[in-house]
Structure 1
Amino acid sequence: MAGTGLVSFFRNSMRRRSARRDVNRDAPRDESKSESARRPGERSPFCYSPGQFFFEYLVVVSLKKKSGSDYEPKIIYQFPKRENLLRGQKEEEERLLQAIPLFCFPDGNHWAPLTEYTSETFSFVLTNVDGSRKIGYCRRLLPVGRGPRFPEVFCIISCLGCFGLFSKILDEVEKRRQISMAVIYPFMQGLRESPFPAPGKTVTIKSFIPDSGTELIELTRPLDSWLEHVEFQALLQHLSPENILWLFASVVLERRIIFVAEELSVLSQCIHAVAALLYPFSWAHTYIPVVPECLIDTVCCPTPFMVGVQKRCLEQVLDQPMEEVLLVDLCEGKFLRSVGDERDILPAKLETEMLTSLKTHNSNNNIQTSEQVNAHVSNTFVQFFVKTVGHYTSHLKWNKSGQSSFQEKAFCKAITSRSCRKFVKRFVRTQMFSLFIQEAERSRITQEGYFQQKVTEYQEQKKKQRRNS
């Protein structure tokens, strides 16, 4: 543990974010400015553009003896080292570097030296007070050596969300670690000097390896960039289609969700997948894919959250004075606690359509690639939002000066299905919908992208059906 000061930092950060969102929820939409709002056409909550750095830091975290039989994670190497920072930048960097070890070893400080350890890949997210996020891509492995030793974590900190690409980078890091630490840094320097590719494009990194010569490593960014931040297969493997839909219903109403699993990789993959189901909206509240043991009482937070906890901490979680939560056991594929109305939130007809679509995926699972699974699952949930709120642009009223206001009552009244209208009336009160509409009110340019494309396709299809009927 990096000290009580770090815990206080996280507590205060969560309180400040919650307070700011409460203010924004009640503020006039055309005046409220939220840094965490996204353009309606964008998939990822991590803001970036082609050409920027792949990463900010590579840090190596190892366990160091603290007292008695306890150990604490410490950064033993940082690349690059930052100099000439302003005071505020230095303070922000110090907070970041304090937090990283805690999330690289979230499973406490009760470790013993090991002779065997299967390397594990996972990720965490650090959310700043302004709503911006950084991802830590981690590979925990046992360093080469003889006799019992501790695992170490190679952690790449980046504001870019592309898990498949960074997993390949960590593969290269691990391969070089088996040779020498010294071989890693030229590779990372080459990566840092290369621009992040545009969707569908490839960057080639030259890297010299002793006894092998110069290697050319190709890193390709997926063409479907709105799907690069997620892997839905893990979620489908751990939860039934029915449970995924009831979980989605809770998340879309911004409730408190706790995920439990044995493996760090399962926690991070599944929580990222659930957050991605919200596209074109984004989760705007506390979001900790892997909660460090010392921050378990995060589950007592009265505001919405999505957090992941290792199963060995389940008893600690159950002992906390929690408010209503959905507690999801990814190991057993079931809910340990629920509010009780999860099955009644989504419109029945649309829920049946989504269930059929997800079950169709399950029956074809053996012949689908990862990209096909991502596209199929994503489209299932995109269509849900297309059919429930896709008509939002028709209720944005623009004046001559280019300002807009959203006509919420007319928007809800335009929905002919009673069950859909009932759901939408609850959904429009969420923070994610409010932020989405705030951004749409600012500029017509933001009403572009994949979601709007699907809305247009759906509306054209309905017009065609009416003409043929």
Structure 2
Amino acid sequence: MCRLADYFVVIGFDDQKQSPSNGKILQRFPHKDWEDSPFIDSIEMFCQPLRWRLSSQRQQPSFFMFVLTDIDANRHYCASLSFTEPIAVHPTKQDDDDIDDESITSMDGSTTALCTTGAQHHSIMYSTKCLVLVSQHNYREALKNCLTIIYTVYIENMDVSLEVIVSNILACVDIPPPGGPQIRFSIGANDRQFLQPPLSPTIPVTETTVYNLFEQLGIHSVVNLVCAATTEHKILFHSRSFSRLSDACLALTALMYPFVYCHIYIPILPSPLLEVLSTPTPFLMGIHSSLKNE
């Protein structure tokens, strides 16, 4: 039996830095690393691939999966649910005509100063917060359902303990090995969920990702991509949807079965790491379409 998820992480906007482009880990459970699955640093960069920034408008919650690879080449599947929370921005004294200093008051009451040039002032801004579950298994729907429940309990102030929900996800949901029976479980929020392990430990589970890849790119393009992947070429996807990037990379590696893709695999590459594209080795990566000219 294996854990459904190894870590639950809350990541938010880092208002202590002068540049509003970084996130920081606000909470992490458990605090100590599992011996069989160490925590991977820099996860905050992948939660907001286009950099962390404040917004003048509230954004709708969004979900996508990204993949991190550890030093032993083991993949860790990260489910991320992002949403925005209001923070107060107070203009302070201007030192010159071109630079406006602003202080940001977060939800916990702490205040810090930011420097903005030529920016429009808003008394209320919105910062992004991400809820992330890290797992060794690609159970997309189960992880998404768990994050949705956590988000709902948090936003609606439901009479359910978030600590109990998180502990149930990390410690009380054991999944059978491939080929095992379907399981039903609850994470303590009056929910009823089920999970079906894959039939084989080696045959990839693709759901609709392969169909979507053929639908979006066409059969000739997909055949060319499979040939490029098997002959160790560099492959870079770009899309305005992070979910499509993850699905495209998953589908392409699945089409290589029974071969296994063993080169650099980063379905969603954050903008601060674009220099990785200059590596001389083969890779399979994805970037947001807004970055394709950089």
* Range class of TM-score, shorter chain: 0.7 to 0.9
Over the matched positions of the two proteins, sequence identity in percent amounts to 20
The partner residue of 2:182 within 194, 201, 223 is 201
For residues 180 and 138 of structure 1, the distance between their equivalents in structure 2, rounded to whole angstroms, comes to 21
Cα offset, 1:308, TM superposition: 0.6
Corresponding residue for 2:220? 242
Q: How does 1:6-405 map onto structure 2 within 5 Å?
A: 51-68=1-18, 70-82=20-32, 93=39, 96=40, 98-109=41-52, 111-143=53-85, 147-180=124-157, 183-192=161-170, 193-198=172-177, 199-208=180-189, 215-222=190-197, 224=199, 226-228=203-205, 231-232=208-209, 233-316=211-294
For residues 80 and 114 of structure 1, the distance between their equivalents in structure 2, rounded to whole angstroms, comes to 34
Check the 8 A contact 1:144/1:178 in 2, yes or no. Answer: no
For residues 230 and 282 of structure 1, the distance between their equivalents in structure 2, rounded to whole angstroms, comes to 18
Q: 1:127 to 1:263 in 2, by over 3 A?
A: same
For residues 270 and 239 of structure 1, the distance between their equivalents in structure 2, rounded to whole angstroms, comes to 10
3-state SS of paired residue (2:28): strand
3-state SS of paired residue (1:267): helix
For residues 189 and 65 of structure 1, the distance between their equivalents in structure 2, rounded to whole angstroms, comes to 29
Check the 8 A contact 2:176/2:197 in 1, yes or no. Answer: no
Cα offset, 1:171, TM superposition: 2.5
Q: Structure 2 counterpart of 1:123, which letter? A: M
Q: 1:169 to 1:273 in 2, by over 3 A?
A: farther
Cα offset, 1:143, TM superposition: 4.3
Q: Tell me which protein shows more strand as a share of its residues.
A: 2
For residues 206 and 266 of structure 1, the distance between their equivalents in structure 2, rounded to whole angstroms, comes to 29
Q: 1:114 to 1:78 in 2, by over 3 A?
A: farther
Q: 1:218 to 1:67 in 2, by over 3 A?
A: closer
3-state SS of paired residue (2:281): coil
Please say which structure displays the higher CA radius of gyration.
1
Check the 8 A contact 2:58/2:85 in 1, yes or no. Answer: no
Q: 1:144 to 1:276 in 2, by over 3 A?
A: farther
Check the 8 A contact 2:86/2:126 in 1, yes or no. Answer: no
Corresponding residue for 1:361? none
Task: After superposing the two structures, state which structure 1 stretch, 186-195 or 54-63, moved more.
Answer: 186-195
Query: What stretches of structure 1 of length at least 5 have no aligned partner?
Result: 1-50, 209-214, 317-469
Check the 8 A contact 1:200/1:223 in 2, yes or no. Answer: no
For residues 75 and 60 of structure 1, the distance between their equivalents in structure 2, rounded to whole angstroms, comes to 6
3-state SS of paired residue (1:112): coil
Cα offset, 1:296, TM superposition: 0.4
Corresponding residue for 1:43? none
Q: Structure 1 counterpart of 2:67, which letter? A: V
Task: After superposing the two structures, state which structure 1 stretch, 163-172 or 242-251, moved more.
Answer: 163-172
Q: 1:229 to 1:128 in 2, by over 3 A?
A: farther
Q: Structure 2 counterpart of 1:203, which letter? A: R
3-state SS of paired residue (1:216): coil
For residues 187 and 281 of structure 2, the distance between their equivalents in structure 1, rounded to whole angstroms, comes to 47
Task: After superposing the two structures, state which structure 1 stretch, 299-308 or 66-75, moved more.
Answer: 66-75
Q: How does 1:404-443 map onto structure 2 within 5 Å?
A: none
Q: 1:66 to 1:273 in 2, by over 3 A?
A: farther
* Superposed CA offset, 1:315-367 (max 9, x none): 11xxxxxxxxxxxxxxxxxxxxxxxxxxxxxxxxxxxxxxxxxxxxxxxxxxx
For residues 125 and 82 of structure 1, the distance between their equivalents in structure 2, rounded to whole angstroms, comes to 21
Q: 1:197 to 1:172 in 2, by over 3 A?
A: farther
TM-score computed with the length of structure 1 as normaliser: 0.49
Cα offset, 1:219, TM superposition: 2.3
Query: What stretches of structure 2 of length at least 5 have no aligned partner?
Result: 89-123
Check the 8 A contact 2:54/2:128 in 1, yes or no. Answer: no
* Superposed CA offset, 1:353-399 (max 9, x none): xxxxxxxxxxxxxxxxxxxxxxxxxxxxxxxxxxxxxxxxxxxxxxx
* Superposed CA offset, 1:233-261 (max 9, x none): 44234211221111111112221101111
